[in-house]
Amino acid sequence: MSNRFLHVRENFCQLFPCQIGFCRRIFTVGTAARTKMAAALGFGDNSLHVFEHPLEQKLTRRSFLRRGGSLGAALAGMSSAGGLWRAALAAGATIRQPDSLPDPKRPAGTPTAALPFDHVVVVMMENHSFDNLLGALAISGQPQAKGLRFNAAGVALNSNPGPEGPVRSFPFPSTAQGPHVSQSWNATHEQIDGGKMDGFVASVHDVQPMGYWTAAVLPFAYSLARTFTLANDWFCSAPCQTYPNRRFLMAGTAYGNISTDNESLKDPPPPNGTIWDRLEHYGISWRNYFTDLPSTGIIPSTIEKYPSNIVPIAQFYADCASGNLPAVSLVDPEFGVLGVVGSSLATVPTLAPLAEKLETTGGSEENPQDMAYGEYWAYRTLNAVLHSPAWPRTLLIYTYDEHGGYYDHVPPPAAIAPDSIPPQLGPGDVPGGYDIYGPRVPAIVASPHAKPKAVTNVVHDHTSVLATIEAKWNLPALTYRDANAATVKDFLDLDHAALLQPPALAEPPVPVGAATST
């Protein structure tokens, strides 16, 4: 994409931060027009995504021009972008709105048989980029994986500038992690560096971000990625930390938050609610199963309103064994929150009643925790799903909230802003908005209908989880982001269940002190 086109897009998005969000992913156009536009701009075939759900709110030339003469500069640049805007208008460019239904012809809150699952299980781990966790996958059984580049000797060729010359990606010899990484708003923007992806070493003055794990060290993660359907282009929803990205997962917006801090727990609820509110309103069952802290606590009003839906991880294993899973499950690993954030549950009044339910069985992969505990927790947890009587009708989405400060080589693309709420930036913060994704993270869909040993190159982010739930039960969208996100339908073979018999996944070593029973 030319720099001039990027400049035009950025100017346009400043004028229309949420109504249009002019970027390469939000136009729904005919196949021929899409292909022509993609070719003109040098995009791949999937770069201009054709959404599967009906869209509303057609944008006409008249309504566009009504926005005023301040658009002159943006309009003037459109011809240099291969006529993208004119072609999009001619093809009937449309965008879905918040509160619109995926299928207006179907009553809200009713499931569709077109998606072959009745249970959605979401497991979101902590703080690893695609290249960091699965960078060697292309030379470890999945040649289609978009990971690190290697020479014939198996040496990684990707690098970042360092004070004494280029620092190449290097394999970690064990599951141990060093402490020197950062995924703060400022550090992440420095790492992305306008798409150069060359600021990871400089952001922390350390080589740690360039490390990656191999299948020999993380056998389960690699086994999972080789067995089911892997996303080559799943990005975290915002270029920053855990809290804002998990807000996107639950609400389709970070509504101003850019960091993981206790002060943000005092924020009001998201203006258009959460996916939990939608599920409750339409009588659709859900639970948040937690190990040491429920991620729903990031939006404390959820726990205040639905305390009976927040249950310890032991209940998840019991529900899997009985086949009694709810329609939607969010399953949380150990976050190590008490030590990492430096607080106690008792200091947050809305979370204090959960203190007595703590069940720390291991599972954190957040730096600097030992990866062995998270690897083993994930193995136990996912196997509980695979061997559940509910497996034949289950869709499991396994991903990571953000990159944790670790290197990834793929530049995050532009994103549609979820709403009109800007990031709450301080005097020293890098200017920016929610109109770009954060770095790539691992994402794998496991289901009887998952495409075996396959990859997808469609762009997704965490609001794709919301879009999938909304598409299954025809729920109103929360924000512009989830309304226009790709579902995970591209991971699935809707007509065949090739993985109905649960495949065997590599069992990692049992870490010292880890819980082993489910």
Q: Please compute the mean of the pLDDT values over residues 213-231 and round it to a whole number.
A: 98
pLDDT digits (tens, 9 = 90+) for 34-60: 444 333 333 333 333 322 333 333 333
Residues above pLDDT 90, as percent of the chain: 70
- Specify the amino acid at residue 215: A
Checking if the pLDDT of 226 tops 70, the result is yes
In the prediction, which pLDDT does 377 show? 94
Q: Please compute the mean of the pLDDT values over residues 401-430 and round it to a whole number.
A: 97
The pLDDT mean for the chain works out to 83
Question: Strand 229-231 to strand 310-312: parallel, antiparallel, or no bridges (unpaired)?
Answer: unpaired
Q: Using CA atoms, how far apart are residues 340 and 458, in angstroms rounded to an integer?
A: 34
How does residue 293 score in pLDDT terms, banded at 50, 70 and 90? confident
Does the model's pTM come out above 0.85? no
- Which among 223, 220, 389 is positioned nearest to 320, based on CA atoms? 389
Q: Please compute the mean of the pLDDT values over residues 342-368 and round it to a whole number.
A: 61
Angle between helices 219-227 and 371-386 (to 10 degrees): 40
In the prediction, which pLDDT does 355 show? 54
Residues above pLDDT 70, as percent of the chain: 76
Domains of the chain: 3-90 (no CATH), 119-130+210-491 (3.40.720.10), 132-209 (no CATH)
In the prediction, which pLDDT does 363 show? 79
- Residue 303 belongs to what H/E stretch? helix 301-305
In the prediction, which pLDDT does 349 show? 60
Q: Using CA atoms, how far apart are residues 141 and 153, in angstroms rounded to an integer?
A: 16
Q: Using CA atoms, how far apart are residues 230 and 490, in angstroms rounded to an integer?
A: 11
Q: How many residues does the chain have?
A: 518
How does residue 311 score in pLDDT terms, banded at 50, 70 and 90? very high
- Listed range (65-74, 134-143, 285-294) with the worst mean pLDDT: 65-74
Checking if the pLDDT of 1 tops 50, the result is no
CB atoms within 10 A of CB 468: 27
pLDDT digits (tens, 9 = 90+) for 239-281: 999 999 999 999 999 999 999 988 889 999 999 999 999 999 9
**pLDDT greater at residue 29 or residue 284:** 284
- Position of tokens 């030992």? 370
Q: Using alpha carbons only, what angle is made at residue 490 by residues 131 and 404, rounded to the nearest 5 degrees?
A: 25
In the prediction, which pLDDT does 263 show? 87
- Specify the amino acid at residue 465: V
Q: Using CA atoms, how far apart are residues 506 and 514, in angstroms rounded to an integer?
A: 17
Q: Please compute the mean of the pLDDT values over residues 127-140 and round it to a whole number.
A: 98
Checking if the pLDDT of 506 tops 80, the result is yes
Q: Please compute the mean of the pLDDT values over residues 313-335 and round it to a whole number.
A: 95
